[in-house]
Copies of this chain bind each other. A is one copy, B any other.
Amino acid sequence: MTKRREIAQLGEFGLIAELTKDLPLVNPSSVKGVGDDAAVIGLEGDRCLLLSTDLLMEGIHFDLVYFPLKHLGYKAVVVGISDILAMNGTPRQITVSIGVSAKQSVESLQELYDGVRAACVEYGVDLVGGDTSASVTGLAISVTAVGEVARKGIAYRGGARMNDLICITGDLGSAYLGLHLLEREKRALEGSDNPQPHFEGYNYLLERQLHPHARTDIIEAMREAALVPTSMIDLSDGLASDLLHICKSSSCGARIYLDRLPIARESYSLCEEMNIDPVVAALNGGDDHQLLFTVPLAAREAVMQLGAIDIVGHITPASTGVMLTTPDGSDIPITAPGHK
């Protein structure tokens, strides 16, 4: 009998690598397959199409006890769009498929789709298809996003070069802390006769978890400034994990500075209240859907003029590894779940 290997032994990214290794691409239009935020399909001339797909499962990605369906629909679209943005593309079309358990009604699905529509309108994306299935268990949502990009404008994960600056479009860990807050209230209210959640002062964190925005504004600003990142990734799994992806794909190392990590005031407050290390939240908290990108040193001024971009470090040789430098000058190797 064959030995059974548990998925946890490989980690999520090891599993994907294992399942998709030795995959030859036979169609000339398949420019880039597995291994980036989106696949790249070559069109005539210098245009390319981007294709990305995400699967959101109840009980893993969301808890319907506190996640309003309308927000969930909106967020599902944002998750898809963010992958297109992370390739420096313009999102154009989306499909949304749902596996629906018997506990959902027509009205609850309408709420979900109200959120999908709201996001489509906000980001100028067309909902062009999907599939509807029953589910014997929880709600499953599959989103496929399609975008457009000039071939020369594509920002792959693998393009970071020595000394490039590492840039982030917003504060880190707030979506993760918003989730912690919701989980805490859920536990507190279980069995309570008079549920009154205590969210005062933390609206920002809730907003970042329940109603994140896709950073189309930054992609447009970079395009206006004729700035093409050397590499880019959607911050969905946390800075540590996503920076490791950039470094692995670009065969480089990185150094980021602890005191430059953007962390919101509300995040510090909640971390103190809940006894969480804010740096751990910033490094490992997922779901931020900000963009992590690199630019050559010479683009520093141009990046500063985009506004509200944090430069948190720079690219180093692969041999020096991926390091977090603390204010006292010590280096801590960056690791992340899913990477083995």
User: Smallest CB-CB separation from A43: which chain B residue?
Assistant: B43
Of residues 76 through 103 on chain A, the ones whose CB sits less than 8 Å from some CB of chain B are: 92-93, 95, 97-100
C-alpha spacing A308/B15, complex, angstroms: 43
B51 close to A20 (CB less than 8 A):
no
B44 close to A142 (CB less than 8 A):
no
Cβ of A168 under 8 Å from chain B: no
B12 close to A132 (CB less than 8 A):
yes
Q: Which of A18, A61, A98, A127 has the most CB of B within 10 A?
A: A127
Interface of A (DSSP majority class): mixed
Q: How far is the CB of A28 from chain B (nearest CB, A)?
A: 9
A128 close to B51 (CB less than 8 A):
yes
Interface 1/0s, chain A 195-230, versus B by CB < 8 A?
000000000000000000000000000000000000
B20 close to A106 (CB less than 8 A):
no
Task: Choose one: B57, B132, B140; the contact of A15 (CB below 8 Å).
Answer: B132
Cβ of A126 under 8 Å from chain B: yes
A113 close to B20 (CB less than 8 A):
yes
B51 close to A129 (CB less than 8 A):
yes
A137 close to B23 (CB less than 8 A):
no
Residues of chain B within 8 A (CB-CB) of A110 are: 18-19
B39 close to A129 (CB less than 8 A):
yes
Residues of chain B within 8 A (CB-CB) of A109 are: 7, 15, 19
Interface 1/0s, chain A 1-42, versus B by CB < 8 A?
010111101101001101110010111011011100011010
Q: How far is the CB of A67 from chain B (nearest CB, A)?
A: 15
User: Smallest CB-CB separation from A138: which chain B residue?
Assistant: B137
Cβ of A193 under 8 Å from chain B: no
Residues of chain B within 8 A (CB-CB) of A323 are: none
B26 close to A134 (CB less than 8 A):
no
Task: Choose one: B25, B41, B117, B127; the contact of A146 (CB below 8 Å).
Answer: B41
Q: 27 A-B contacts, Cβ less than 8 Å apart?
A: A5-B105, A6-B106, A7-B105, A7-B106, A9-B106, A19-B110, A19-B113, A20-B113, A20-B130, A29-B93, A33-B127, A33-B128, A33-B129, A39-B93, A41-B49, A41-B128, A43-B47, A53-B129, A53-B131, A57-B136, A59-B135, A60-B134, A136-B138, A137-B137, A140-B140, A142-B142, A144-B144
